[in-house]
């Protein structure tokens, strides 16, 4: 029986052969990731084993990003636990404030993940690396501890759903809009326990940044992982960056998918996820005139350079609406530096935006942009659960950076074409 | 595994931000987390819940973040087990790893009400509501995960494997 792309990668990483969906396997793990919220619990569990080191110090990656720069003493203590662990076990892939980034933007940028990898991370958005043709999935802290000790992780071989995108995208429509549309179509548990495999000419035309955005949000449909086929865009991205050679796997032509969805992207306009589920998705045309108090541009979903470029294109020569706070978070130090050199950060500051150092802060209601009761935000992040960004009675709408920038100018949710014309960049 | 207890009923898609909001994630102390368990779904829950009570929820319980703080908070609040129509996959793994018993049971959440008492027989794989005759089937736990439970959780399982091999297993 034919295998899916996900099954091919898993089979390459385990002893078992002829995998079938539902089977439990033990896989070799290429990269294991933790952050300042999840690593301290993993470290506690790891230290209880009484062994003298991690399975491979070069394959463990630790990134303080959630509550850094340390927001309070408790956060500082957690970051310190992780820093000391990294020193104790000579983990060189620990990224200090000033060199770090939001983990899921940072790992691809640093070339730590490559095509064909099996990656686990104690963070649900670890699925982001599927954009590179890797199998990547989120786990908990105890699973991370077990992998740090053994280099292996158990998985249930997932069934797969195939998503085929064809046609030409409308102006201002990005990977964010395609994935929001898809989650809106299948629901927040529409891919529960499954792999989401993306294909079709309309995804082949997407940039790596757009693919990373799409894979990032597959967890919002309940998926185990999301994955793209390796093509020229992938190779160009990995070239000169990936620290290990890419390994390219392909789905069998007779691979079995439990479900297939076909989308004509020419019919998809910018999309908005309404409170309080990422699957509560409607076209921007049905959201216009909703007033907002805060706009957040950034996160592991949409804080990459091309995201900032689109936002700057719309904000150039314009002002943020006086009733709106616009907060921009470049996702990594490198993105920050490049945005600085390109003049993008100047555009933001001149428009009246606050520009922050990289952090997950506001996305999860941690710090740097918390909402009060009754306030409403439009964010380029990935979740809009009740209270996600602050008070339990605050609201979050999710959208692309283009919609976010246009909305910051008008003070209400707005199609980018209304502010910046019919031609997108 | 057998449990009997008073139930608290929640709907579909209860996410980990409702189970334990991120503003409390600067601690991993079970007692601290328990004080805020389910706070954004029901602010009074940490006060109301009693030791041995059971949570019954709809589909996709525990969706969202990978935070293990979620099952830790539920367990530390005294909840004996969680029964849902379905669980988000990372929460499912975490609950086993943390030793919080969870049961997938279709249909139960649609017919119970808060304060009902349910009886869970994990060995027979069935759940009943006190005063009612209908029996609900529990989805079987995969044998591999049963083995994890028998070993005492994932870390105990890893310890056993490491001891059996005299060192870290070859990668």
Smallest CA–CA separation between B115 and chain A, in Å?
Answer: 25
Cβ–Cβ under 8 Å, residues B117 and B6:
yes
How confident is the model at residue B168, as a pLDDT? 54
> What confidence tens digit (pLDDT) does each residue in A218-275 have?
999 999 999 999 999 999 999 999 999 999 999 999 999 999 999 999 999 999 999 9
Which of B23, B69, B33 shows the shortest CA–CA distance to A361?
B23
What value does the mean pLDDT take over residues A100-117?
Answer: 98
Residue B147 has pLDDT above 70, yes or no: yes
User: Is there a cis peptide before residue A276, judged by omega within 30 degrees of 0?
Assistant: yes
B164: pLDDT confidence band, cut at 50, 70 and 90?
confident
CB contact under 8 Å between A154 and B25, yes or no, is no
List, in order, residues 6 or more apart from A52 with CB less than 8 Å away.
none
Which of B130, B117, B123 shows the shortest CA–CA distance to B103?
B123
* Distance between CA atoms of residues B142 and B144, nearest Å: 6
Residue A139 has pLDDT above 60, yes or no: yes
A349: pLDDT confidence band, cut at 50, 70 and 90?
very high
* pTM for the structure as a whole: 0.97
Percent of chain A with pLDDT over 70: 100
Tell me which residues of chain A, numbers 67 to 126, contact chain B at a CB-CB cutoff of 8 Å. 67, 71-72, 74-75, 77-78, 121-124, 126
Which residues of chain A are within 8 Å of residue B18 when distances are taken between CB atoms? Answer: 385-387
> What confidence tens digit (pLDDT) does each residue in B100-137 have?
999 999 999 999 999 999 999 988 999 999 999 999 99
What value does the mean pLDDT take over residues A74-102?
Answer: 98
Cβ–Cβ under 8 Å, residues A412 and A400:
no
What value does the mean pLDDT take over residues A396-412?
Answer: 98
How confident is the model at residue B165, as a pLDDT? 79
Residue B58 tokens, joined? 């709809």
CB contact under 8 Å between A365 and B28, yes or no, is no
Tell me which residues of chain A, numbers 266 to 295, contact chain B at a CB-CB cutoff of 8 Å. 277
How confident is the model at residue B149, as a pLDDT? 80
CB contact under 8 Å between B89 and A192, yes or no, is yes
What one-character DSSP code corresponds to residue A125? G
How confident is the model at residue B153, as a pLDDT? 84
CB contact under 8 Å between A140 and B171, yes or no, is no
Domains of chain A, start order: 5-263 (3.30.499.10), 273-415 (3.30.499.10)
B142: pLDDT confidence band, cut at 50, 70 and 90?
confident
Q: Does A188 touch chain B (CB under 8 A)?
A: yes
CB contact under 8 Å between A152 and B25, yes or no, is no
> What confidence tens digit (pLDDT) does each residue in A351-366 have?
999 999 999 999 999 9
How confident is the model at residue B151, as a pLDDT? 86
Which residues of chain B are within 8 Å of residue A121 when distances are taken between CB atoms? Answer: 66
Tell me which residues of chain B, numbers 69 to 98, contact chain A at a CB-CB cutoff of 8 Å. 69, 86, 88-90, 93-94, 97-98
Residue B57 tokens, joined? 């929820």
Question: ipTM of this predicted complex?
Answer: 0.95
B170: pLDDT confidence band, cut at 50, 70 and 90?
very low
CB contact under 8 Å between B90 and A138, yes or no, is yes
How confident is the model at residue A425, as a pLDDT? 66
> What confidence tens digit (pLDDT) does each residue in B25-45 have?
999 999 999 999 999 999 999
> What confidence tens digit (pLDDT) does each residue in A262-298 have?
999 999 999 999 999 999 999 999 999 999 999 999 9
Residue A96 has pLDDT above 90, yes or no: yes
Parallel, antiparallel, or unpaired for β B126-129 and B117-121? Answer: antiparallel
CB contact under 8 Å between A365 and B17, yes or no, is yes
Residue A360 tokens, joined? 């997950």
**Which residue out of A140, A193, A194, A366 would a mutagenesis test of the B interface target, given it has the greatest number of B Cβ atoms within 10 Å?**
A140
């Amino acid at each position: 029986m034919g295998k899916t792309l996900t099954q091919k990668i898993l089979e390459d990483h385990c002893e078992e052969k002829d995998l079938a969906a539902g089977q439990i396997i033990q896989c070799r793990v290429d990269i294991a990731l933790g952050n300042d919220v999840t690593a301290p619990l993993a470290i506690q569990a790891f230290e209880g084993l009484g062994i003298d080191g991690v399975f491979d110090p070069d394959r463990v990656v630790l990134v303080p990003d959630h509550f850094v720069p340390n927001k309070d003493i408790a956060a500082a203590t957690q970051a310190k636990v992780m820093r000391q662990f990294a020193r104790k076990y000579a983990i060189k892939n620990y990224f200090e404030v000033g060199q770090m980034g939001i983990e899921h933007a940072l790992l691809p940028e640093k070339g730590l993940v490559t095509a064909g990898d099996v990656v686990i991370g104690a963070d649900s958005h670890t699925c982001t690396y599927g954009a590179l043709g890797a199998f990547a999935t989120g786990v908990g802290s105890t699973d991370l501890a077990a992998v740090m000790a053994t280099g292996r992780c158990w998985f249930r071989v997932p069934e797969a759903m195939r998503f085929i995108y064809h046609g030409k995208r409308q102006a201002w429509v990005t990977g964010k809009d395609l994935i929001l549309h898809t989650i809106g179509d299948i629901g927040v548990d529409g891919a529960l326990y499954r792999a989401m495999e993306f294909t079709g000419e309309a995804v082949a035309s997407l940039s790596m940044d757009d693919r990373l955005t799409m894979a990032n949000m597959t967890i919002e449909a309940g998926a185990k992982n999301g994955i793209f086929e390796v093509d020229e865009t992938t190779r160009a991205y990995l070239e000169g960056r990936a620290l290990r050679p890419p390994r390219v796997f392909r789905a069998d032509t007779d691979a079995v998918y439990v479900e297939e969805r076909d989308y004509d992207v020419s019919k998809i306009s910018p999309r908005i996820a309404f409170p309080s589920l990422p699957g509560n998705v409607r076209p921007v045309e049905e959201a216009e005139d909703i007033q907002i108090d805060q706009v957040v541009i950034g996160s592991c979903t949409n804080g990459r350079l091309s995201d900032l470029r689109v936002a700057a294109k719309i904000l150039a020569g314009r002002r943020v609406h006086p009733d709106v706070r616009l907060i921009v978070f470049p996702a990594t130090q490198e993105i920050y530096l490049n945005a600085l050199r390109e003049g993008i950060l100047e555009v933001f500051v001149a428009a009246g935006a606050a520009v922050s150092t990289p952090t997950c802060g506001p996305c999860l209601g941690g710090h740097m942009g918390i909402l009060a009761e009754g306030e409403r935000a439009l964010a380029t992040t990935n979740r809009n659960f009740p209270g996600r960004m602050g008070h339990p009675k605050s609201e979050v709408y999710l959208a692309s950076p283009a919609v976010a920038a246009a909305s910051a100018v008008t003070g209400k949710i707005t199609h980018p074409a209304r502010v910046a014309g019919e031609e997108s960049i | 595994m057998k449990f009997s207890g008073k139930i608290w009923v929640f709907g579909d898609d209860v996410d980990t931000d409702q189970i334990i909001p991120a503003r409390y994630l600067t601690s991993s102390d079970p007692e601290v987390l328990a004080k805020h368990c389910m706070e954004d779904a029901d602010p009074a829950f940490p006060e109301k819940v009693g030791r041995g009570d059971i949570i019954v929820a709809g589909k996709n319980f525990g969706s969202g973040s990978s935070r293990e703080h979620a099952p830790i908070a539920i367990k530390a609040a005294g909840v004996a087990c969680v029964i849902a129509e379905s669980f988000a996959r990372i929460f499912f793994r975490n609950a086993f790893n943390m030793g919080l018993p969870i049961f997938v049971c279709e249909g139960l959440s649609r017919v119970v009400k808060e304060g009902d008492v349910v009886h869970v027989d994990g060995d027979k794989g069935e759940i009943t509501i006190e005063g009612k005759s209908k029996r609900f089937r529990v989805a079987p736990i995969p044998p591999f995960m049963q083995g994890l439970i028998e070993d005492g959780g994932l870390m105990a399982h890893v310890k056993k494997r490491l001891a059996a091999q005299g060192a870290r297993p070859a990668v």
